[in-house]
Chain A
Amino acid sequence: MLALIPLFPFIGFLINATMGRRLSKGLSGAVACAAIIASFAVAVMSVLQIAGMPADARVLEQVVYTWIASGDLSLDMTFRLDPLGAVMILVITGIGSLIHIYSTAYMHDEIDSEFARYFSYLNLFAAFMLVLVLGANFVVMFVGWEGVGLCSYLLIGFWFKKQSASDAGKKAFVVNRIGDYAFVLGMLFLFTQFGTLDFARLATIASAMPVEEGVFGAISIATLLLFIGATGKSAQIPLYTWLPDAMEGPTPVSALIHAATMVTAGVYMIGRNAVLFSHAPETLFIVAVIGAATALMAGTIGLVQNDIKRVLAYSTVSQLGLMFLAMGVGAFGAGIFHLYTHAFFKALLFLGSGAVIHALHGEQDIRNMGGLKKFLPVTYWTFLIGSLAIAGVPFLSGFFSKDEILYETFHEGHTMLWLVGAITSFLTATYMFRLVFLTFHGERKGSGIGDQGSGHDHGHADPGSLIPDPGHAHGSHLHDAPPAMALALIVLAIGSVLAGYIGVPHALGGHNQLAAWLAPSFQASAAAPGVGGGAELFPQAEAAEEAEVISEEEAALELTLMGVSSAIAIGGILLAAFIWLKRRSIADGMAHRFGGLHRLLLNKYYVDEMYDATVVNPIHVVSRDALWRGFDVRVVDGAVNGTAAIVAAGSNLLRRLQTGSVRAYASSMFVGVVVILGYYLWR
């Protein structure tokens, strides 16, 4: 039954890919939505099934067939569902379904074949992500891992006529491949060390090994390589640069990439291998530091960007940084919790921004927006809820998960990292509300496109599309989200408010049900099929039990920290309100006074330029001038042709000697005789 979960969207992909150009838009969209919703239904049934099992035996497994067998390597195409996978598949198929439904309206201006192509990619994306999550060993995971890279390539470059879009797609794939390279090496290393690539077996083997405290042993090396792979997929330093560019794709795709699929893969991968990673504290520390650094860096960039999607993109990078921080301090449950809540509000925010862009016919620059609140009420209110949630305002979903990350970080003794996390939270609140205020509040700006009362049909081109839409009139005033889009926004808004309540901390008198649910996934389990005698003893992830016996002081500490982070969130919002609602001039003044810093942030620390100058261009120039035109053409072919030339010239020379002149022969004979005689006499 598990195989059906990725199979449904895959069938949807096949239908739309092969027959899509002959299907009407309504039908293609229906096929795609039906496929992902069917997948969601099976996912829910499967999760209910494992929920009915005892807590330490919640595993479903399906071996489809033996995929690759060579010598002592035997890789099965196996799908396995455990509590961690359950959270993931619900997020992917649930939020994925909403994004599909939303897309039917958003992409409606595309021609039939393009519409079908879009939905085939979208289905394929979901299918690969589900394979990634359900795969029971590294190689099956890798199928999904590379597959989502492919789909991001196809979808980011969906409007392929636009150079920037196809560039961004290619960049996404190539940067991901760099990470995949390390990921593959990590797999190879694990297999040579442990003789298996099955997650459950690896966990069992690792749990019997000593924790590599202070040494950089086999597990540390392998996990570090895997983490480098995760930095590619999940957009962390140093491989994050593809994600902000990825907004070149249609906006629902951004929602899909940022919320339901793709970028969560790296976090999930660490959670899936929690046992390995917790046996490599050195690697974990690196994970935490990279996560914190990425969170901070992306937060600062997000503060000054002017493209609505770009701000959201950097906020994703930043939030992912927080998730990695959580994973790095060993709070795997907290990291996954944030992944889960983030999926709701980030999907909401991207879809909301899509509604704005849709209404404004492609405008993405927030400096040209403003005052949209009264024109787009549904979009505004849902977007506001998303922003409150991501900012960490108390009692919305983001509050609970972010708070747990910060608390765990502090509790584990990483005060500096906690500080970085707290600053990031402050930045998040500030830039998100800068976005809200600039977009929805204040005066309506913009150059009249789509302004109320203009009363004409403007050839509506979709964002980035170069195909002018034939005579599609969009009415006379700004339209709020059409029903399919509004539905997705509202459902996600509800989720953004409520999703956190499955993880209410004990300090607030709740039961952290999510932590308890996930706990078995983070330890080597005796119940995992095909694993003999698992080790019960495991230092990490007894979150559930640990939490039950939480002491008074700890509760007090947690409440204090909670207060601090609430204050931070509200402080950030107030700061944003003060600057961008009351005194717009402050922002301009600051940008002016710290011109250098502002430029640095606006240009994203010039990291892309740096990569271009130090890696991309040198490789290109060296390959062209030194390797190809230099070595290949000059040296090797030069040698080959040179040999031929020497032979030819030599023959020519020999030919010249045969002059036929008797005198020349005689004189050369004479010279010869003299030389020989001279030699003997001289000696």
Chain B
Amino acid sequence: MLTLSWLLPLAGALLVMLVPNADGRRDGVIRWLSLAAAVATFGVTMAIWFGFDSESASFQFVERVPWIPAFGIDYFIGVDGISLLLVVLTGFLTPIALLSSWGSINRKVKEFSIFMLALEAAMIGVFLSLDLFLFYVFWDAMLIPMYFLIGIWGYDQRVYAAIKFMLYTMAGSVLMLIAILGLAYLHSSATGAYSFDLLKLYALDIAPQTQMWFFLAFTLAFAIKVPLFPFHTWLPDAHVQAPTAGSVILAGVLLKMGTYGLLRFSFPLFPEAATYFAPWLAVLAVVGIVYGALVAMVQPDMKKLVAYSSVSHLGFVVLGICAMNVQGVQGAVYQMLAHGVSTGGLFLIVGMLSDRRHTRLISEFGGLKAVAPKLTAAFLIITLASIGLPGLNGFIGEFLILLGAFRWDPRFAVVAGLGVILSAVYMLWMFQRVFYGPVTHAENATMRDLVPREWVSVVALCGIALVMGILPSLFLRPMEASVEALVQRVQTAQTLRVQRTEP
């Protein structure tokens, strides 16, 4: 089942590859084919969700096949409550991203579809991997399609952005690779055999001093991905230059790789180091919350604004993880999902605007409410979701994170809460300048409202935002056991550390 979920989009990519389309006449076939593959994948991810046992904290649907036995490398995959929903999120967003490209990608449609599906396969693979080597393979495999998506189908400065994205991420992953190899070595010196098996590595007793270095190596890679302040400057460029589909996936799923990595690797593998570094990470997180919001406020470019708002929102996620209590971590995972939906939605609609007008500058718009009321309503709902209005998805995550942070150290919650005020400022200000007022540019007066294809994605996103706000238990329940186990694990290590240092 799990293997199917990442092989299916890959198979779709291969199938697309087989369609001869040198003259672009079969663009339509390719679009439908890739959409079908993505929708089928979404179906599989939903099936995994329905088959998932919420009561259990352990990994489910586990598949294990030896791959390179000499080094203890297995093809070892499985889901728990934390990765489950991220897999579903990936399955949900990819068809939407593909749909968004129907109007805007007219060049090399075949290659585009292949890269999108390959990207989906790699992303799902990242969330499923329980073997660190396998994880690293998927992690790096993910970069390649994204690099091309930005570099080929992006806007005018796409090459600079693509290279910046690549270098930033590679800088982090190289250190992580060394740390992964180091871990396997540690395992061999402790037990006599190499292993990349996450569960075996969890059981490893690593000296606190060593944990520090490993933690830093892993966390740097993840911090760049999140991106945590001050490693965030690749993000605005990548987002602004990426095509809409790329931005949706980048914001919706790719950024979560960083926070997912913190939850899956940095914290549980090196709990003592994590406890030591958590306050420092949290400082960066809250600085990022306020900083991202302030910088978002003054952006003239809509995509940049949304990109900086991601820095702010992901700061919340990191803060929740650092708090390492049930509310904080559940809030963090919830916020990851919520951010995927609402920021994915924001990029989607900004993309629609930029398709129509070929500009992303806020000052080029104004008064659209009178011209395109449906689009306006959709954007308003997504905006409200993004600023955490109760009843929509953003609130649940933010509230739980703030509660978790407050219980851990109220000072963090006090500063982070400022982000709640600022998000209203920058989002509503943008909304006002784009949609309210008189129509100031003649080109805007004839802008068309949502077409049915766009309508489908927008309704899906708004619907999910509402469901997540009203029935959060649907999503909180499956992750509960896993989160509790994780928190338990880190906290036990923390008490151990106290015992070690006291006598």
Contacts and interface: CB of A to CB of B under 8 A. Distances in A.
A627 B424 CA distance: 19
Interface in A613-660: 619-620, 622-624, 627-628, 632, 636-637, 640
Most interface-central of A71, A174, A178 (chain B CB within 10 A): A71
A623 B432 contact: no
Contact of B420 (A72, A153, A177): A177
Given A627-B294, A640-B164, A68 B400 contact: yes
Interface string B419-449: 0110011001100100111100000000000
Interface in B400-428: 400, 402-403, 406-407, 410, 413-414, 417-418, 420-421, 424-425, 428
Contact of A160 (B377, B410, B414, B437): B437
B396 to A, nearest CB: 6
B20 interface: no
Contacts of A166: 432, 436-437
A637 B232 CA distance: 10
Contacts of A170: 428-429, 432
A459 to B, nearest CB: 18
Contacts of A178: 421
A43 B472 CA distance: 29
A67 B294 contact: no
A514 B202 CA distance: 65
B437 A163 contact: yes
A170 B406 CA distance: 29
Interface in A61-79: 66-73
Interface stretch (B8-16, B76-84, B366-374): B366-374
Contacts of A113: 373
A67 B472 contact: yes
Contact of A174 (B396, B421, B472): B421
A637 B438 contact: no
A185 B413 contact: yes
Nearest to B438: A161
B190 interface: no
Interface residues of A, number: 49
B150 to A, nearest CB: 17
B216 interface: no
A640 B230 CA distance: 11
B420 A68 contact: no
A142 interface: yes
A636 B230 contact: yes
B417 A185 contact: yes
Contacts of A577: none
Interface in A152-174: 153, 157, 160-161, 163, 166-167, 170, 173-174
Interface stretch (A187-195, A275-283, A407-415): A187-195
A191 B399 CA distance: 12
A139 interface: yes
Which of the listed residues A68, A139, A147 has the most CB atoms from chain B within 10 Å of its own CB? A68
Contacts of A640: 164, 168, 233
B30 to A, nearest CB: 35
Q: Is the contact region of chain A dominated by helix, strand, or loop, or is it mixed?
A: helix
A188 B402 contact: yes
Contacts of B402: 184, 188
Which of B384, B417, B480 is packed against the most chain A CB atoms within 10 Å? B417
A628 B299 CA distance: 9
A68 B230 contact: no
B464 interface: no
A70 B421 contact: no
A225 to B, nearest CB: 10
Contact of A161 (B390, B420, B436, B473): B436
Contacts of B291: 627
Contacts of A174: 421, 424-425, 428
A543 to B, nearest CB: 34
Nearest to B299: A628
A166 B396 CA distance: 28
A181 B421 contact: yes
Contact of A71 (B327, B417, B424, B477): B327
Contact of A147 (B390, B421, B436, B480): B390
A556 interface: no
A363 interface: no
A627 B232 CA distance: 13
A180 interface: yes
A177 B413 contact: no
A559 interface: no
A150 interface: yes
Contact of A70 (B164, B331, B377, B425): B331
A143 interface: yes
Tell me which of A69, A70, A153 has the highest count of chain B C-beta atoms within 10 A of its own C-beta: A70
Given A113-B373, A166-B436, A191 B403 contact: yes
Contact of A188 (B325, B403, B438): B403
Given A188-B403, A623-B297, A153 B428 contact: yes
B482 to A, nearest CB: 13
B146 to A, nearest CB: 19
Given A170-B429, A188-B413, A192-B406, A181 B420 contact: yes
A170 B424 CA distance: 9
B436 A160 contact: yes
B318 interface: no
B389 interface: yes
Contact of B326 (A71, A628, A637): A71
A628 to B, nearest CB: 5
Interface in B304-328: 325-327
A146 interface: yes
B419 to A, nearest CB: 9
A161 B326 contact: no
A466 B438 contact: yes
Contact of B424 (A73, A163, A173, A637): A173
Nearest to B390: A143
A177 B403 contact: no
B390 A70 contact: no
B4 interface: no
Contacts of B331: 70
Contact of B298 (A17, A173, A188, A620): A620
B330 interface: yes
B403 A623 contact: no
A224 to B, nearest CB: 14
A467 to B, nearest CB: 9
Contacts of A139: 390, 399
B389 A150 contact: yes
A113 B230 CA distance: 47
B418 A161 contact: no
Interface in B158-192: 164, 168
A558 B236 CA distance: 67
Contacts of A189: 406, 410
A679 to B, nearest CB: 38
B295 A71 contact: no
A68 B476 contact: yes
A146 B387 CA distance: 11
A73 B327 contact: yes
B428 A173 contact: yes
A70 B294 contact: no
Given A161-B438, A181-B421, 14 more contacts: A68-B400, A71-B330, A146-B390, A160-B435, A167-B432, A170-B428, A174-B428, A185-B414, A192-B410, A627-B291, A632-B295, A636-B233, A637-B233, A640-B233
17 contacts: A70-B330, A139-B399, A157-B432, A161-B438, A167-B432, A173-B424, A181-B417, A184-B420, A185-B417, A192-B403, A192-B406, A192-B407, A192-B410, A620-B297, A627-B295, A632-B295, A640-B168
Interface of A: 17, 21, 66-73, 113, 139, 142-143, 146-147, 150, 153, 157, 160-161, 163, 166-167, 170, 173-174, 177-178, 180-181, 184-185, 188-189, 191-192, 466, 619-620, 622-624, 627-628, 632, 636-637, 640
Top 5 nearest A-B pairs (CB, nearest first) are A71-B326, A624-B298, A623-B294, A166-B436, A160-B436
